[in-house]
Amino acid sequence: MKHLIMGTAGHVDHGKTSLIKALTGFDCDTHKEEKTRGITINLGFTSLKLSNGESIGIIDVPGHKDFINTMVGGACGIDFVMLVIAADSGIMPQTVEHMNIINALGVKKGIVALTKIDLVDKELIEMAKYEIMEFLENTSLHNAAVIGVSSITGEGKEELIAVIENLISEIEIKEKEDLFRMYIDRIFSVKGFGCVVTGSVLGGSIETGKDVFLLPGKNQKLRVRSIERHGAPVEKVFAGDRAAINLIGLKTEDFKRGMIISDKELKETQMIDASISLFDNNSELPLWSTVTFHSGTFESMARMHAINKDNIQEKGNVIVQIHFEKPAVLLNKDKFIIRNSSGDKTLGGGYIIDVTPLHHKKRTTALIENLSQLSETILSENSHNDLIKIELKKELRPFTAEEIADNLNLNTDQLKAAITDPNKNFLVYQIDDKEILIDKGFNDTFKNKILKILQEYHQEFPLFENGFEVGELTGKLALAKIKHGKSYLNLLLKKMESEGLIENFKNTWIIKGHKPSISDQVLNEINWLEKEILQYGIQKVIIPEIEERCAAQKISKHQLKMYLSYLNRMGKIQFFQNDLIHSDLVNKFRTVLLGQLKGKEAGIEINEFKEKLNATKYLCAMLVKIYETEKIITTQGSGIETKIFITQTGKNYS
Ligand SMILES: Nc1nc2c(ncn2[C@@H]2O[C@H](COP(=O)(O)OP(=O)(O)OP(=O)(O)O)[C@@H](O)[C@H]2O)c(=O)[nH]1
Ligand SMILES: [Mg+2]
């Protein structure tokens, strides 16, 4: 069974509603105001039974220029159009405007009903047909059949139905899409059953018992209680169906025009990148302009910014960034219409190329290149690889495969196909059962950054054999907060190791072949420094004093820092908070303390230790802290009240 929706289009009063009534027996003008004014104001919904027993959905739109936004809302979900033109008046302003909209929305199939033929003679009918063919020449309907019909006499009706049926047989089934999405075009409550919403199913399918989300907004999940398709109860509806869905949990006050229901909690957006083209009506838009944006039933004032041009002229596509006044739930490739800010002129239409763009503050050549490529790629099928590549280029970081699938709305199969494609133009790292994706160029950027960081470190501290641990590099490369950033880095480092660029030294990464270099002069300076420190004995080592003496020796602060690190690494000195102490003292007094503690299960006072050393309170406290971190002692109390106890490690210390 084919799931299709036909929409009407055409100038006010040309006979759209009358023709639908003649075809289906249903009068779509159900509202009182529509009856009194004699025009359609709201969308009308019905269905047409086909000779094979199947049915298609029908949306009847208003033709009056004041209701173009309603027309756009209806036209967004249709598969083909029936353009209605009255034989006695021919092509009129909204015939053109509706056709432009239909074109921009990507509706490629349709037929033309030349109505009211009972009012004109044969010659005029032929002239009208000629005019119409000429008009359609440069539109998506250039091959459409033009059928003369009268809703009053019924003439041409059979032929029109036959042409519709023939067109239906030619329409290809829509690309399979998993995601269920439907703009709500009506909401009403049924006594005892709660709320019912209607709409055109844009993608995927939904069945009774399933949960859906009302978006945008943080509304609770809703359960599908029952579904009707073209007025009859069904278990499931598909893309291309008109559906009425009874939802458990929905309150009318939660609903705002422009909302959708979907089976996935889609992200909302207030900014998109898009490709637009203006209609042929002498418009020209400046770099920045305020417009009204319409997609489905969503409508918002928006600020539009041209990216690859300085202004937007008719003909040709222009890439723009659009900022909405309120949040929307849209997908890449969604078609839309823009109207002027006062809402009385349709300016053009386009398609979304990115629903999660970065804010483009600068129009760089790289950005323009990327977006131009994206706008060309996005419409072609099987373009997932290219789309992923462009998505990955948005930020200098690795992405999880799920993140990408989420941003691009790819299903598991599409994602898998893209990842396993031997011709893919991005890199995939396997982390346990997860895949991490990164742009090839960005991967090289990280590689070069790592090499630079390590080279600079080796240059700055030539005395040291070591480099940086993964954790330190993760921080330096701003990958710490990125999901799986550290895992990615680990894999990249391993890869760089296998490429012979770096190697591992004592848990740190160094440039392959790096060896510390110590000249005789440096060695002399280090020995001199150690002696200087030793001279302090049990006195506190005053660093500024050492700095002064270093300066006299022409040893810079940086060299001093490096020499101290070196002495520390060699086990000659120990740092404690902002102080340092020679290891000889630490070792000597450790033996003293352990001797004092021997056999003293009840511990000793810190004062006993101090008296034994004949050292300052400060030095004692520092040593006690050092021994505590060595876990050879524990303490209780603080200051002069501190008691020291030996631990098992202390007892075993030799
Ligand atoms: N003689 C004649 N009159 C027609 C025909 N079709 C429609 N009409 C008349 O034209 C008028 C407008 O018809 P509608 O069907 O309401 O036109 P519409 O295109 O739906 O108008 P809007 O929805 O307001 O844009 C009505 O008075 C109809 O009776 C036709 O085939 N022949
Ligand atoms: Mg009408």
pLDDT in tens, 561-598: 989 988 998 889 998 888 899 999 999 999 999 999 99
215-219 average pLDDT score: 85
Smallest CA-to-CA distance from 69 within 243, 270, 292 is with 292
Name the token pair of 607: 């004062």
| Nearest atom in ligand 1 to 119's CA | 1
Cα gap 583→115, rounded to integer Å:
103
For ligand 1, atom 3: residue with the closest CA: 116
Q: Is the shortest distance between the CB of 321 and ligand 1 below 6 Å?
A: no
Cα gap 266→250, rounded to integer Å:
18
Residue 523 has pLDDT above 70, yes or no: yes
| DSSP for residue 382 | T
Q: Is the shortest distance between the CB of 8 and ligand 1 below 6 Å?
A: no
The pLDDT assigned to 242 comes to: 93
The confidence band for 433, taking pLDDT boundaries of 50, 70 and 90, is confident
How many whole angstroms from 145 Cα to the centroid of ligand 2? 22
What is the number of H-type helices and E-type strands within the chain?
A: 20, 34
372-387 average pLDDT score: 80
Query: Measured in Å, how far apart are the chain's first and last C-alpha atoms?
Result: 87
Q: Is the shortest distance between the CB of 65 and ligand 1 below 6 Å?
A: no
Cα gap 253→489, rounded to integer Å:
49
Average pLDDT, the chain: 91
How many whole angstroms from 15 Cα to the centroid of ligand 1? 3
pLDDT in tens, 158-202: 999 999 999 999 888 766 677 899 999 999 988 888 899 999 999
Contact 387/403 with Cβ under 8 angstroms?
A: no
How many whole angstroms from 92 Cα to the centroid of ligand 1? 15
Residue 300 has pLDDT above 70, yes or no: yes
For ligand 1, atom 1: residue with the closest CA: 116
**Burial group, residue 226, by CB count within 10 angstroms (0-12, 13-18, 19+):** middle
Residue in the block written with tokens 């302009």: 289
Assign residue 393 a region (left: φ > 0; alpha: ψ between -120 and 50; beta: otherwise).
alpha
> Alpha carbon of 621 to those of 45, 212, 614, 625, 643: distances in Å?
86, 65, 13, 6, 11
For ligand 1, atom 8: residue with the closest CA: 15
The pair phi, psi for residue 588, each rounded to 5°, is: -60, -45
Sign of the torsion angle spanned by Cα atoms 55, 260, 372, 443: negative
The confidence band for 382, taking pLDDT boundaries of 50, 70 and 90, is low
pTM of the model as a whole: 0.76
Among the ranges given (256-270, 317-331, 404-418, 627-641), the one the predictor scored with the smallest mean pLDDT:
404-418
Cα gap 106→351, rounded to integer Å:
9
Name the token pair of 199: 């709409």
Cα gap 535→529, rounded to integer Å:
10
How many whole angstroms from 70 Cα to the centroid of ligand 2? 12
Q: Is the shortest distance between the CB of 39 and ligand 1 below 6 Å?
A: yes
Residue 282 has pLDDT above 70, yes or no: no
Smallest CA-to-CA distance from 50 within 160, 137, 127 is with 160
Strand partners, 84: 113
Q: How far is CA 416 from the centre of its chain?
A: 19
Residue 93 has pLDDT above 90, yes or no: yes
Q: Is the shortest distance between the CB of 12 and ligand 1 below 6 Å?
A: yes
Most confidently predicted of 226-230, 460-464, 611-615: 226-230
Sign of the torsion angle spanned by Cα atoms 196, 201, 202, 207: positive
Question: Which ligand lies nearest the alpha carbon of 28?
Answer: 2
Q: Is the shortest distance between the CB of 289 and ligand 1 below 6 Å?
A: no
232-236 average pLDDT score: 94
| Nearest atom in ligand 1 to 11's CA | 25
How many whole angstroms from 13 Cα to the centroid of ligand 2? 7
492-507 average pLDDT score: 95
Contact 347/336 with Cβ under 8 angstroms?
A: no
Cα gap 452→16, rounded to integer Å:
70
Cα gap 48→280, rounded to integer Å:
34
Q: Which residue has the higher pLDDT, 317 or 513?
A: 513
The pLDDT assigned to 145 comes to: 94
Which of 549-557's residues contact partners 24+ apart within 8 Å by CB, and which partners?
553/525, 553/528, 555/525, 555/529
Residue 373 has pLDDT above 70, yes or no: yes
Cα gap 10→83, rounded to integer Å:
6
SS3 assignment, position 647: coil
Q: Amino acid letter at 350?
A: G
Cα gap 611→644, rounded to integer Å:
14
Residue 96 has pLDDT above 80, yes or no: yes
Cα gap 366→231, rounded to integer Å:
52
The pLDDT assigned to 175 comes to: 62
142-160 average pLDDT score: 94
Interstrand relation of 5-9 and 80-86 (parallel, antiparallel or unpaired): parallel
**Burial group, residue 506, by CB count within 10 angstroms (0-12, 13-18, 19+):** exposed
Contact 312/318 with Cβ under 8 angstroms?
A: yes
Contact 239/3 with Cβ under 8 angstroms?
A: yes
Residue in 8, 11, 13, 112 to alter for ligand 1 test, most ligand atoms within 8 A of Cβ: 13
Cα gap 108→88, rounded to integer Å:
27
**Half-sphere CA count of 237, side-chain side, radius 13 A:** 34
How many whole angstroms from 295 Cα to the centroid of ligand 1? 28
Residue 46 has pLDDT above 90, yes or no: yes
The pLDDT assigned to 88 comes to: 94
367-391 average pLDDT score: 82
The pLDDT assigned to 297 comes to: 94
Cα gap 341→344, rounded to integer Å:
8
Q: Amino acid letter at 263?
A: D
For ligand 1, atom 9: residue with the closest CA: 15
Residue in the block written with tokens 């000889």: 584
Residue 281 has pLDDT above 80, yes or no: no
86-106 average pLDDT score: 94
Interstrand relation of 298-306 and 318-328 (parallel, antiparallel or unpaired): antiparallel
Q: Is the shortest distance between the CB of 70 and ligand 1 below 6 Å?
A: no
For ligand 1, atom 14: residue with the closest CA: 15
The pLDDT assigned to 639 comes to: 86
Strand partners, 298: 295
452-472 average pLDDT score: 91
* Cis before 462? omega within 30: no
Name the token pair of 615: 């050292």
Task: Report the largest interatomic distance among the alpha carbons of the chain, rounded to a whole angstrom.
Answer: 126
Q: What is the dihedral of CA 574, 580, 585, 590, to 10 degrees?
A: -60
Cα gap 97→68, rounded to integer Å:
9
The pLDDT assigned to 174 comes to: 65
